[in-house]
């Protein structure tokens, strides 16, 4: 008899733990969206794992009734790599923040992306260190006044999307905490992707960096600031569709033209060369004008997990003796000494 499709609801993914974020934090909206989305996967809860690092975002595993691990600062991708490679039956998600992923965890992030490990990375970007009470982060703007930069930050910020594309991540997207419909659509696309899926989520910290992304949410400004990336659709935006993303002749990058006669590019996230997606990631200005949201890049590439498991399978096929004999031969190969 055919198996009955698994029927789960958002309630099934709510744990019995008290949700402990500051009232009004954008993390609540992301959590609600995730709990509402997970039933769509049709995957048993015991086959879903959330691994987090350190920070406000990293409380996430406590609040989902799945398996999870609140791990080490910046090292969530490394821990999740081991889990993903050894347990192909699991769907693995990494939850991190701009400080956790881009400061102490920077190397772990870029190497996981270049390897194309089969997991989904959600980077909550609020442009501040929230858990440690308001220091500037790797995505804070130049001149940002915080408790650790009273005269203003002298650092130029990372662009997380550009960073992920520079590491040649096979799936890169951006969304916003308060846009439930868009957030869910991006989560769905990430879940369907084979390999590393990197999703930057603009998330409001109403205590230490309130309204950092307000112009992208306010009805008066958002249409003139946001560029919505939809596969196969022209890149035209604005309240009166007055803006177009174009590629001027002789230019290495993209630009935004304010003209009804400008011919916009048609968005194609499936381009193998990441140059186009990278150019899109450079459009956003410091004041958030011309900020693209949606899927920048989505290409097929063999995952790290598949390659490693393939090597293990081949090694087993070539094995002539028992595992114990093979191990002994390995340990005694090359230059060895017997200590009396």
Look at residue 3 in the predicted model and tell me its pLDDT.
58
Average pLDDT over residues 308-326: 74
What domains lie within the chain, and their CATH numbers?
A: 10-232+289-304 (3.40.50.970)
**DSSP letter string, 181-235:** HHHHHHHHHHHH-SS-EEEEEE--BTTTBTTTTGGGTSTTTHHHHEEEE-TTSB-
Band (pLDDT 50/70/90 cuts) for residue 20 is very high
Q: Could you tell me if 13 and 35 are in contact, meaning their C-beta atoms sit under 8 angstroms apart? A: yes
Strand partners, 121: 94, 198
CA distance 27 to 112: 24
The residue behind tokens 């960096």 is 209
What is residue 24's predicted lDDT score, i.e. its pLDDT?
95
CB-based contacts of 130, cutoff 8 Å, min separation 6:
55, 56, 97, 205, 207, 208, 209
Instruction: Inform me whether the pLDDT recorded for 64 exceeds 60.
Output: yes
Averaged pLDDT of the chain: 93
Question: Rounded mean pLDDT of 220-245?
Answer: 97
Rounded Cα gap, residues 266 and 298, in angstroms: 15
Residue-level pLDDT at 321 = 60
Q: Percent of the chain beyond pLDDT 70?
A: 95
Which tens digits make up the pLDDT trace of 272-297?
Answer: 999 999 999 999 999 999 999 999 99
pLDDT digits 0-9 by tens, 85-134: 999 999 999 999 999 999 999 999 999 999 999 999 999 999 999 999 99
- The two most distant CA atoms of the chain are separated, in Å, by 86
């Amino acid at each position: 008899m055919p198996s009955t499709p698994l029927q789960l609801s958002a309630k099934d993914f709510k744990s019995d733990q008290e949700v402990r974020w500051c009232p009004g934090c954008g993390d609540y909206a992301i959590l609600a969206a995730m709990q509402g989305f997970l039933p769509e996967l049709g995957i048993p809860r015991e086959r879903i794992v959330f691994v987090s690092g350190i920070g406000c975002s990293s409380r996430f595993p406590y609040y989902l009734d799945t398996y999870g691990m609140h791990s080490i600062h910046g090292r969530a991708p490394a821990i999740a790599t081991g889990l993903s490679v050894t347990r192909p039956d699991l769907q693995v998600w990494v939850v991190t923040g701009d400080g956790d992923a881009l400061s102490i965890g920077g190397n772990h992030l870029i190497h996981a992306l270049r390897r194309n490990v089969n997991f989904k990375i959600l980077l909550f970007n609020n442009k501040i260190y929230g858990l440690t009470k308001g220091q500037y982060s790797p995505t804070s703007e130049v001149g940002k006044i915080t408790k650790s930069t009273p005269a203003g930050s002298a650092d130029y910020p990372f662009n997380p999307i550009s960073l992920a594309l520079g590491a040649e991540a096979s799936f890169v997207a951006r969304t916003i905490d308060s846009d439930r419909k868009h957030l869910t659509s991006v989560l769905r696309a990430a879940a369907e992707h084979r390999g590393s899926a990197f999703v930057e989520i603009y998330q409001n910290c109403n205590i230490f960096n309130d309204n950092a992304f307000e112009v992208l949410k306010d009805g008066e400004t958002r249409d003139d600031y946001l560029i919505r990336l939809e596969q196969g659709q022209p890149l035209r935006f604005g309240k009166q569709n007055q803006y177009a993303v174009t590629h001027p002749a002789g230019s290495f990058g993209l630009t935004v033209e304010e003209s009804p006669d400008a011919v916009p590019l048609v968005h194609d996230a499936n381009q193998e060369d990441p140059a186009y997606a990278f150019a899109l990631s450079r459009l956003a200005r410091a004041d958030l004008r011309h900020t693209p949201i949606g899927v920048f890049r989505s290409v097929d590439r063999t995952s790290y997990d598949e390659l490693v498991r393939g090597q293990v399978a081949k090694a087993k096929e070539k094995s002539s003796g028992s595992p114990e004999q093979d191990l002994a031969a390995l340990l005694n190969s090359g230059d060895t000494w017997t200590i009396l």
